[in-house]
Structure 1
Amino acid sequence: MKIDASRDDLEKDLIARLDRLPVWPYPSAVLWVVGIGYLIAFFDITNVAFGLPVFSKVLHFSQGQAALPITASLVGYVIGSWLNSNFSDAIGRKGGIMTATLLFSCGCIVTTFAFNLESMVIGRFVTGMGIGAEIAVISAYIGEMAPAAVRGRYTALANVFAMIGQGVVPVVALGLVPNFAWGWRAMFLIGAFGGLTLLAFPWIPESPRWLLSKRRHVDAAAVVAAAEKRVRARIGDTLPPPIEVAAEVHAQGFPTAALFRPPFRGRVLLLFALWFVWYIGTYTWLGLGPTFFVARGYTLTHSILFLLTSSIGYPAGSLIATAIGDTFERKHTILAGMILWTACFIGIGIASSPLLIYVSVFLLAGSLGFFLPLMYTLTAESFPTRARATGVSLTDGAGHLGGALGPIIALAVYSWGGISSGFTTVFLFMAVTGFLTAVLLPFTITATRRSLETVSKG
Structure 2
Amino acid sequence: MKKGAGSGSGAELISRLDRIPIWPFGSTVLWVIGMGFLVAFYDITNVSFALPKIAGYFHLSSAASAIPVTASLLGYILGSYLNSTLADLKGRRTAIISATILFTVGSLATTFSFSYGWLIVWRFVTGMGIGAEIAAISTYIGEMAPAPVRGRYTGMANIWSFTGLAVVPFVALGLLTHFSWGWRGMFFVGALAGLTLIWAFRIPESPRWLIAHDRLAEAEAVIQNGEARAEKKLGKSLPAPVLLADETHEQKFPTSALFRPPYLGRWLLLFFVWVFMYLSDYAWLGMAPTLLVDKGYSLASSTLFLLVTGIGYPIGAILSAWFGDRFERKYSILVGIVVYALSLAAFGLFPSGATIVIAGFILSVALVFFFPLLYALTAESFPTQARATGVSLTDGIGHVGGALAPIFTLAIYAAFGHTGFLMAFMYMALTAIICAILLPFGVAATRKSLEVVHHEPADSVGVVSQ
Indicate whether the TM-score tops 0.5: yes
Shifted more, 243-252 versus 212-221: the winner is: 243-252
1:337 and 2:346 correspond: no
Secondary structure, in 3 states, of the residue corresponding to 2:173?
helix
Q: Is the 8 A contact 1:59 1:115 kept in 2?
A: no
Corresponding position of 2:304 = 305
Assess, with a 3 A threshold, how the Cα gap between structure 1 residues 6 and 238 changes in structure 2: closer, same or farther: closer
Cα separation, 2, equivalents of 1:251 and 1:56 = 51
Secondary structure, in 3 states, of the residue corresponding to 2:131?
helix
* Corresponding residue to 1:445 among 443, 446, 450: 443
Identity of aligned residues (%): 52
Shifted more, 304-313 versus 402-411: the winner is: 304-313
Aligned-pair CA distance for 1:65: 1.1
Q: Is the 8 A contact 1:111 1:120 kept in 2?
A: yes
Map Cα deviations across residues 275-301 of structure 1 (whole Å, 9 max, x no partner).
Answer: 001101111111110000011111111
Map Cα deviations across residues 52-78 of structure 1 (whole Å, 9 max, x no partner).
Answer: 001111022233211110000000000
Corresponding position of 1:455 = 453
Assess, with a 3 A threshold, how the Cα gap between structure 1 residues 450 and 265 changes in structure 2: closer, same or farther: same
Q: How many residues align?
A: 456
Aligned-pair CA distance for 1:245: 1.5
Q: Is the 8 A contact 2:345 2:429 kept in 1?
A: yes
Map Cα deviations across residues 71-127 of structure 1 (whole Å, 9 max, x no partner).
Answer: 000000000000000001000000000000001001101111112221111111000
Corresponding position of 1:55 = 54
Which letter does structure 1 place at the counterpart of 2:427? Answer: F
Q: Is the 8 A contact 2:93 2:201 kept in 1?
A: no
The RMSD of aligned alpha carbons is 1.4
| Runs of 5+ unmatched residues, structure 2 | 457-466
Q: Is the 8 A contact 2:92 2:206 kept in 1?
A: yes
Cα separation, 1, equivalents of 2:89 and 2:309 = 38
Q: Is the 8 A contact 1:214 1:251 kept in 2?
A: no
Q: 1:265-284 alignment to 2 at 5 Å?
A: 265-284=264-283
Cα separation, 2, equivalents of 1:233 and 1:314 = 33
Corresponding position of 1:221 = 220
Corresponding position of 1:157 = 156
Corresponding position of 1:296 = 295
Cα separation, 2, equivalents of 1:257 and 1:34 = 28
Aligned-pair CA distance for 1:7: 6.4
Corresponding position of 1:250 = 249
Cα separation, 2, equivalents of 1:194 and 1:63 = 30
Q: 1:45-444 alignment to 2 at 5 Å?
A: 45-418=44-417, 420-444=418-442
Corresponding position of 1:42 = 41
Q: TM-score, normalised by structure 2?
A: 0.96
Cα separation, 2, equivalents of 1:179 and 1:59 = 19
Assess, with a 3 A threshold, how the Cα gap between structure 1 residues 235 and 270 changes in structure 2: closer, same or farther: same
Corresponding position of 2:15 = 16
Cα separation, 1, equivalents of 2:321 and 2:158 = 9
Q: TM-score, normalised by structure 1?
A: 0.98
| Runs of 5+ unmatched residues, structure 1 | none
Map Cα deviations across residues 235-262 of structure 1 (whole Å, 9 max, x no partner).
Answer: 0112112123221322412100000011
Secondary structure, in 3 states, of the residue corresponding to 1:309?
helix
Cα separation, 1, equivalents of 2:250 and 2:107 = 34
Cα separation, 1, equivalents of 2:303 and 2:5 = 61
Which letter does structure 1 place at the counterpart of 2:48? Answer: A
Corresponding position of 2:462 = none
Map Cα deviations across residues 214-253 of structure 1 (whole Å, 9 max, x no partner).
Answer: 0000000000111111111010112112123221322412
Assess, with a 3 A threshold, how the Cα gap between structure 1 residues 42 and 4 changes in structure 2: closer, same or farther: closer
Q: Is the 8 A contact 1:8 1:247 kept in 2?
A: no
Aligned-pair CA distance for 1:310: 2.9
Aligned-pair CA distance for 1:428: 0.6
Assess, with a 3 A threshold, how the Cα gap between structure 1 residues 253 and 8 changes in structure 2: closer, same or farther: farther
Relative to its length, the structure with more helix (as a share) is 1
Map Cα deviations across residues 137-191 of structure 1 (whole Å, 9 max, x no partner).
Answer: 1001000000000000001100000011100100110111011001110010011
Shifted more, 150-159 versus 55-64: the winner is: 55-64
Assess, with a 3 A threshold, how the Cα gap between structure 1 residues 26 and 352 changes in structure 2: closer, same or farther: closer
Cα separation, 1, equivalents of 2:359 and 2:398 = 26
Map Cα deviations across residues 27-46 of structure 1 (whole Å, 9 max, x no partner).
Answer: 11000000001001101100
Structure 1 runs, 4 residues or longer, greater than 3 Å off: 3-9
Assess, with a 3 A threshold, how the Cα gap between structure 1 residues 64 and 352 changes in structure 2: closer, same or farther: closer
Q: Is the 8 A contact 2:109 2:122 kept in 1?
A: yes
Q: Is the 8 A contact 2:103 2:129 kept in 1?
A: yes
Cα separation, 1, equivalents of 2:26 and 2:127 = 30
Which letter does structure 2 place at the counterpart of 1:446? Answer: A
Which letter does structure 2 place at the counterpart of 1:449? Answer: R
Aligned-pair CA distance for 1:203: 2.0
Which letter does structure 1 place at the counterpart of 2:191? Answer: A
Aligned-pair CA distance for 1:416: 1.0
Cα separation, 2, equivalents of 1:409 and 1:165 = 26
Cα separation, 1, equivalents of 2:11 and 2:237 = 20
